[in-house]
Amino acid sequence: MRHHAIDVDNPNARIEPYTQAAGGWGALLSVARNLKRQNILKKGAISLLNVNQPTGFDCPGCAWPEKKDSHAFNFCENGAKAVAFEATSKYLSNEFFAQHTLRELAEKSDFYLEDLGRLSHPLSYDAAQDRYVAISWDDAFQLIAKHLNALDDPNRAAFYTSGRASNEASFLFQLFVRCFGTNNFPDCSNMCHEATSVALLAAIGLGKGTVTLDDFDHADAVFIFGHNPGTNHPRMLATLREVSRRGGTIVAVNPLKERGLERFQDPQAMMEMVTNQSTPISRYYFQPKVGGDYAVLLGMLKHLQQWDQAALAAGQSSVFDREFIAQHCEGFASMLALVDATPWAEIHEHSGLSPTHLQALAKLYLDAKRVIFCWGMGITQHRHGTLNVHLLANLMLARGQIGKAGAGLCPVRGHSNVQGNRTMGLNELPSTQFLDSLDRVFQIKSPRAHGLAVVESIQAMHDGRVKVFFSLGGNFAAASPDTDFTAQALRHCDLVVNVATKLNRSHLICGQAALLLPCLGRTEIDMQLHGPQAISVEDSMSNVHLSAGQNQPISEHLLSEIDIVARMAEATLGKDHIDWRWYVESYDRIRDAIAEVFSEFHDFNRRVYPPGGFHLEHPANQMQWRTASKKAQFIIAPMASVYADAENQYLATQQQQHYLLMTIRSHDQYNTTIYGLDDRYRGVYGQRRVIFMNPEDIQASAFAEGQWVDIESIYRDQVKRVVQHFKIVAYNIPRGSVAAYYPETNPLVALSSHDPYAKIPASKSIPVILHAGQAAEYTGSAGIADAVLMK
């Protein structure tokens, strides 16, 4: 591990508890600051007018749906930051790259790299000079084709996507890769909501949520498990505010006290702003231990079961929806037997909630007639993430809360088109039905062997089994676990290709050869032969709609992602069988092909052009369960298999006192993109290298508040994984649980510590110990304060 002198003692850094409601004037001020920073005050206002409007572009911020009948601005503080950072007028020239080696750039912070502006010309890595140099598009595609065609097996290439790629780009990309001959599609979902997709596919037959925004108008209660809408889905706060104002119950289950879940002031509701009032969001806030949800949810089931027995004994009606269960479900009795056999003591030990609180939580669920369950990364990013989602589904099925108005499952997705990417077939485990359909429409023979997900791709690159890595967006090196191992894996490749809008850390880690290809962003006009083109996206609630940028592209050398994929395909495979570039002339042609492959996209063009687009119905809402037996499934695993798995057994043999670390997002970041160094709602300013701890834990430790520590993770492979220079911040978090920001902490996540089903890295339950550390010289934002350090 390389040891740097790190910023940390930033004179502007401070901790100052935030006393306001989330949203409000603070949010508006922050928008203004970010627009100014990117020199787009004028342009920014124009851009923002178009966000999430029927005729504008889809906000790249998150996948929360737009309110259909709203004429107001449909954006939020963090969406505005995302737009500002993309629509920036700053850009990187070829001269800039001539002046800086990658080694020099690697010393800079992630914030600094991002803030340099947009990529403006295709670049190729010159290893002799350690610099990126300009390359023509044609030469770039020839280089890719040469490398791909030289592989002795198509499975020696892997094709990553980050969830911003449009439906059209995703569809063409998967078609190319399958024609080339592999299903190696690592995807950001593999680090995000894959647990949801895997669990819901098995439980209800389709791995997507079942609710629409309208359901929030009818729900009696909304449960929010493990996500932080104040920062990550601010537009959702407006939905929650409505629920709260009409008397609906909102229940948060989250180890951390998150400001956005407590109170919200809507920057778009003028009265609240003028009178400085706010709406309480969560009426009830439960704080389990990190990773305690499995025990919490199982405990809720156990309460229901006991109340059910009591009710039946007293001659009252069942607590469960027995009719729904009998008609639509399988596995209820065996699930209940396992719940019954789980002792209360075990449940209470692992949940971290007091018995009274757990009972109160179960009672809130029992008392609501129409319930929505929302969840995010606090549920999925565990070794038992998939099992967590199964228990959420079990609770809902047991009370018949799926398939009726005002109720259902609501996984809150991250990237604005991450759900659409999957729908379009970017999937390492494609269904036979889909591949058959693809083969029929295009007269091809797609590969049938399963492909590699993220963690498997990293291992394969490290072992030399995968030699070409292609990334359609994203920041693979920084977003992935086990940072040093991942960086080495990328360096073992013959060719690494990144398609991106902005410079990031992944671009500084090259294989023997590397290409950095700049593409158009969401906000920009995409001009093709038939005129300006729109792309389509699918939000977290399965609404499909168009998005078209209105800004002039920042450089004449940018291509759309679709064009890049088509040209790469033509260079690699020729155009005899599929005329790739014909599809680029008008994206309607791609949508027509999509309509042929997927029956639910019938009449795609006709249905997607009207404002608001169309909704993809979840079959569960028609009581259709696309599982093998055509019934919804109750699936459960014994608690011991969760809390006494191999990793925890190893931990138990270790004598040291450890904490369980969750790695989370600050308010000023979008995944690996760092907009600024503040986390306003958590009261952290001018710094990111902090670790949140319970005050009593601090007192019981060898350290004090404000002291610098190094964090080491404990894992059974006994590799030493340490990140340095974190400042202790006292926070409202349960004892034994600690929190710090991602991606700085990704070096602590062992590659093989992941959910066995969805393979999501367990980045919300990392066992760690603390060592005394030190602060180092402050180097400003150009320094490596917030950088992910790589060997």
Please give the residue ranges that form the binding site for ligand MGD (CB under 6 A): 61-62, 78, 162, 164, 188, 191-192, 225-228, 231-233, 253-256, 258, 290-291, 293, 376-378, 381, 414-415, 472-476, 479, 499-502, 504, 519, 521-522, 561, 662-665, 669-673, 742, 745-746, 749, 763-764
Nearer to ligand MGD, 377 or 790 (CB): 377
User: Smallest gap, in angstroms, from Cβ of residue 502 to ligand MGD?
Assistant: 4
Q: Which residues bind Mo ion (CB under 5 A)?
A: 192, 414
Nearer to ligand MGD, 110 or 308 (CB): 110
Q: Which does 378 bind (CB under 5 to 8 A by kind): ligand MGD, Mo ion, none?
A: ligand MGD
Nearer to ligand MGD, 282 or 633 (CB): 282
The conformation of residue 171, written as its DSSP 8-state character, comes to H
Pairwise CA distance, residues 197 & 320, whole Å: 25
Q: Which residues contact 57 (CB under 8 A, 6 or more apart)?
A: 50, 51, 522, 523, 547, 548, 549, 550
Residue the block writes with tokens 């990126």:
132
Nearer to ligand MGD, 124 or 162 (CB): 162
Nearer to ligand MGD, 747 or 783 (CB): 747
User: Smallest gap, in angstroms, from Cβ of residue 599 to Mo ion?
Assistant: 28
Q: Which residues of 564-576 are buried (b: 16+ CB within 10 A; e: fewer)?
A: bbbbbbbbbbeee
Q: Which does 499 bind (CB under 5 to 8 A by kind): Mo ion, ligand MGD, none?
A: ligand MGD
Task: Write 50-55 long-range contacts (CB < 8 A, 24+).
Answer: 50/523, 50/550, 51/75, 51/79, 51/80, 51/83, 52/79, 54/545, 54/611, 54/612, 55/548, 55/611
Nearer to Mo ion, 380 or 394 (CB): 380
Give the DSSP H/E element, type plus range, for residue 327. helix 322-328
Nearer to ligand MGD, 86 or 308 (CB): 86
Q: Which does 84 bind (CB under 5 to 8 A by kind): ligand MGD, Mo ion, none?
A: none
User: Smallest gap, in angstroms, from Cβ of residue 444 to ligand MGD?
Assistant: 25
Q: Which does 590 bind (CB under 5 to 8 A by kind): Mo ion, ligand MGD, none?
A: none
Nearer to Mo ion, 13 or 200 (CB): 200
Q: Which residues contact 278 (CB under 8 A, 6 or more apart)?
A: 20, 21, 23, 24, 263, 264, 265, 272
Count of beta carbons in the 10 Å neighbourhood of residue 17: 11
User: Smallest gap, in angstroms, from Cβ of residue 629 to ligand MGD?
Assistant: 31
Nearer to ligand MGD, 226 or 447 (CB): 226
Burial of 596 (0-12, 13-18, 19+ CB in 10 A): middle
User: Smallest gap, in angstroms, from Cβ of residue 433 to ligand MGD?
Assistant: 27
Contact between 303 and 359 under an 8 Å Cβ cutoff? The reply is yes
Q: Which does 659 bind (CB under 5 to 8 A by kind): Mo ion, ligand MGD, none?
A: none
Contact between 268 and 242 under an 8 Å Cβ cutoff? The reply is no
Counted residue by residue, the chain has a size of: 791
User: Smallest gap, in angstroms, from Cβ of residue 709 to Mo ion?
Assistant: 28
Nearer to Mo ion, 376 or 773 (CB): 376
Q: Which two tokens stand for residue 692?
A: 């949140």
User: Smallest gap, in angstroms, from Cβ of residue 715 to ligand MGD?
Assistant: 14
Pairwise CA distance, residues 207 & 611, whole Å: 26
User: Smallest gap, in angstroms, from Cβ of residue 313 to ligand MGD?
Assistant: 33
Helix (H, G, I), strand (E, B) or coil at 22: strand
Q: Which does 256 bind (CB under 5 to 8 A by kind): Mo ion, ligand MGD, none?
A: ligand MGD
Nearer to ligand MGD, 109 or 669 (CB): 669
**Cα-trace Rg, the chain:** 25
Q: Which does 474 bind (CB under 5 to 8 A by kind): Mo ion, ligand MGD, none?
A: ligand MGD
Burial of 109 (0-12, 13-18, 19+ CB in 10 A): buried
Nearer to ligand MGD, 226 or 676 (CB): 226
Pairwise CA distance, residues 27 & 78, whole Å: 8
User: Smallest gap, in angstroms, from Cβ of residue 287 to ligand MGD?
Assistant: 9
Q: Which two tokens stand for residue 7?
A: 């910023």
Residue nearest to Mo ion (CB): 414
CA separation (Å) from 4 to 99, 114, 380, 712, 776? 23, 21, 33, 17, 9
Nearer to Mo ion, 187 or 668 (CB): 187
Q: Which does 521 bind (CB under 5 to 8 A by kind): ligand MGD, Mo ion, none?
A: ligand MGD
Contact between 459 and 467 under an 8 Å Cβ cutoff? The reply is no
Pairwise CA distance, residues 140 & 564, whole Å: 10
The DSSP annotation for 697-750 comes to HHHHSS--TT-EEEEEE--TT---EEEEEEEEEE-S--TTEEEEETTTTGGGS-
Q: Which does 51 bind (CB under 5 to 8 A by kind): Mo ion, ligand MGD, none?
A: none
Q: Which two tokens stand for residue 35?
A: 């627009």
Q: Which does 253 bind (CB under 5 to 8 A by kind): Mo ion, ligand MGD, none?
A: ligand MGD
Q: Which does 210 bind (CB under 5 to 8 A by kind): Mo ion, ligand MGD, none?
A: none
User: Smallest gap, in angstroms, from Cβ of residue 396 to Mo ion?
Assistant: 23
- Please choose, from the candidates 477, 484, 424, 390, the residue with its C-alpha nearest in 3D space to the C-alpha of residue 755: 390
User: Smallest gap, in angstroms, from Cβ of residue 61 to ligand MGD?
Assistant: 6
Nearer to ligand MGD, 167 or 745 (CB): 745
Q: Which does 721 bind (CB under 5 to 8 A by kind): Mo ion, ligand MGD, none?
A: none
Q: Which does 232 bind (CB under 5 to 8 A by kind): Mo ion, ligand MGD, none?
A: ligand MGD
On the CB side of 403, CA atoms within 13 Å amount to 19
User: Smallest gap, in angstroms, from Cβ of residue 527 to ligand MGD?
Assistant: 17
User: Smallest gap, in angstroms, from Cβ of residue 671 to Mo ion?
Assistant: 7
Pairwise CA distance, residues 432 & 448, whole Å: 8
User: Smallest gap, in angstroms, from Cβ of residue 393 to Mo ion?
Assistant: 20
Q: Which does 258 bind (CB under 5 to 8 A by kind): Mo ion, ligand MGD, none?
A: ligand MGD
